Structure 1
């Protein structure tokens, strides 16, 4: 079968596992081509991987009638199905799929509005929480709704013990001390202020190192808050890291304090693959990944007392080792082989619906 994948972007945070998924789909008999925007790294990396690429930048992103270039590419690719990612691609791809009588499958990575998906025939949520959101939209053309998690290249994140030791030593971490890492965009809904307030509840003499890696419009506010809480000497801020692996390898615990639901947190699953124990809010796609007390710990949004208690609990060596091992196994289970199999199954079911 021939699939035209459409993503109206020219770079993606999840580019590497997605390209690997496309290559895995090829092994299952899928002929892939990708439509993306011009410029950026996405088209270059796809071409390097031997995947056919079409590039097009819509002159009017939300006016599909003025995007005839997409229609011409669909005619050239002659796909059996169009598979879109992200809202604008679903909106434009859905329009041209309906116009050309080609079924459109749309993957939801977040919680968007219904209007972008009105022409999609099959809807895929990247987590159970996102799928529940899709069902509430009650889209009239949707004939099939399913959940398929985003894959992770777990081997890419397998802990490098030498790099771990080097990073920890360079930042003054002594043997036996615990590194608690937060990483991501420093924006309001990520609730890093709750992370800081939880740190303030943890005894100073516990051998902890608290790190927050990332950038965003809340950075100054968070630094001011750390001073107000009297923890400015306990929390260290680091800028955005292009390669997150050394930080994940160096960490013992990984905190995700989001107060709004994540669709499917790639950073969280990467941390688990790297051997860090996740401590995360019990909302959104996180519930597909973290099982409380088994491969990590959960807490309610803004419940800083439970968060601080979870950090203390996870720092016990036996419990931490068990949860870290289970976290790595959980991450390894969400692999491109499994996800490609589930994806091909959806493709086949969609083609049967067409008949």
Structure 2
């Protein structure tokens, strides 16, 4: 059975978030299976909601200014009237992220007799539940409303267990991880990797570590630069590539933005990394940055399940990642990647030393294992089938 789905994502291009990009990738796969997708998002630029297009999807943008409690209520009213006016145009609502501005949706769904589901995006969303019931009206509202969703999708087993323990929502919490388009993200031969490095003006015969992702303080990039340089500053055969969008230049650019990107380059030079660390502009064909790299590093403080980690592994990178939500679901330590704790700088540095000295044979074993893991457990095709099954379940019952 095919469905018309309204996907609500508070942040949406041109404002970049990994969660919104993951939603778009899923929407493309759902569209190929015959599902009809419309995006609804917030905007500070428009003064009335109107439909636009993004990569072939209709996009409805609702003006939003989160200044005080009244502005939140105004935004909620816009969501209600949109849903009421469009109630015959959609079968269910799919929300991206647990946040106050969208948590009114499950209540609206109950009023309109429309099923709703929400996908968690960050590990701190689960932690917020610990305080929702007892710390103020906003938190109490969130705690009440989130339990009204028909399904809560957790992208890691850590999130699944935390939310199950924090709210009484038997049968509502399901585990569906992020998926990778393995038709786009896949490894290439060595000679093609060399050509990519020439294109990006990167040294060919060297070990290249990379961080490819949004440039934001939450990603802990200063820590990465400092600790990587402590090991590799004198290591001639190691370079670090950093590339990513400037996190929400126009909306909620707290901790990101172009100024932060410039600061990272200054910080790197100040530590003597001007010849060791390459800062490259963000590209839509981000897969080629992964293919030009050997190892992917993610030192982020908080994740739900890192898209970049999954995509890098699909391209054959060996991941070196901080132990955040989702990591244990993906990486088998010492088989297809390495896990560290950002509170233990020495352990991270020891991993970098080990990676710099890996034989070509051992590196290929790690790389092949990483690719195999993604193809078997995290392909977008398999994840899309899980979503379609879930849509059928909440719209027509578990036997359909």
TM-score interval for Structure 1 and Structure 2 normalised by the shorter chain: 0.7 to 0.9
Q: Which residue, out of 158, 162, 168, partners 2:186?
A: 158
Equivalent residues of 1:59, 1:66 under 8 A apart: no
Distance 1:143 1:15 in 2: 23
Distance 1:251 1:41 in 2: 39
Q: What secondary structure sits across from 2:209 in the alignment?
A: strand
Distance 2:397 2:93 in 1: 15
1:39-64 CA-partner distances (Å, limit 9, x unpaired)? 999833244xxxxx473526677332
Q: How does 1:47-66 map to 2 (within 5 A)?
A: 47=57, 53=58, 55-57=60-62, 62-63=72-73, 64-66=76-78
Q: How does 1:246-257 map to 2 (within 5 A)?
A: 246-257=288-299
Q: Structure 1 residues 202, 43: CA separation in 2 closer, same or farther (over 3 Å shift)?
A: same
Unaligned runs of 5+ residues in structure 1 are 48-52
Distance 1:119 1:70 in 2: 20
Residue 72 (structure 1) shift:
3.1
Unaligned runs of 5+ residues in structure 2 are 14-19, 66-70, 130-141, 247-255
Q: Which residue, out of 150, 175, 186, partners 1:121?
A: 150
Q: How does 1:80-229 map to 2 (within 5 A)?
A: 81-87=92-98, 90-110=102-122, 111-112=124-125, 113=128, 115=142, 117-138=146-167, 143-161=171-189, 163-170=192-199, 171-175=201-205, 177-196=206-225, 197-202=227-232, 204-214=234-244, 215=246, 216=256, 217-229=259-271
Distance 1:282 1:174 in 2: 31
Aligned length: 342
1:175-234 CA-partner distances (Å, limit 9, x unpaired)? 3x2111112233222112222223222362441122222344433443344344333322
Q: Cα RMSD (Å) of the superposition? A: 3.2
Q: Which residue, out of 60, 69, 72, partners 2:84?
A: 72
Corresponding position: 1:343 with 2:387 = yes
Corresponding position: 1:14 with 2:22 = yes
Equivalent residues of 2:106, 2:146 under 8 A apart: yes
Corresponding position: 1:32 with 2:61 = no
1:225-279 CA-partner distances (Å, limit 9, x unpaired)? 4344333322222233333122111101111111x22111111111111111111
Q: How does 1:233-312 map to 2 (within 5 A)?
A: 233-258=275-300, 260-312=301-353
Give the corresponding residue for 2:397.
352
Equivalent residues of 2:194, 2:204 under 8 A apart: no
Give the TM-score taking structure 1 as reference length.
0.83
Corresponding position: 1:329 with 2:372 = yes
Give the corresponding residue for 2:54.
44
1:10-51 CA-partner distances (Å, limit 9, x unpaired)? 53322552123313553xxxx53424248999833244xxxx
Equivalent residues of 2:233, 2:276 under 8 A apart: no
Give the TM-score taking structure 2 as reference length.
0.75
Q: What secondary structure sits across from 2:197 in the alignment?
A: helix
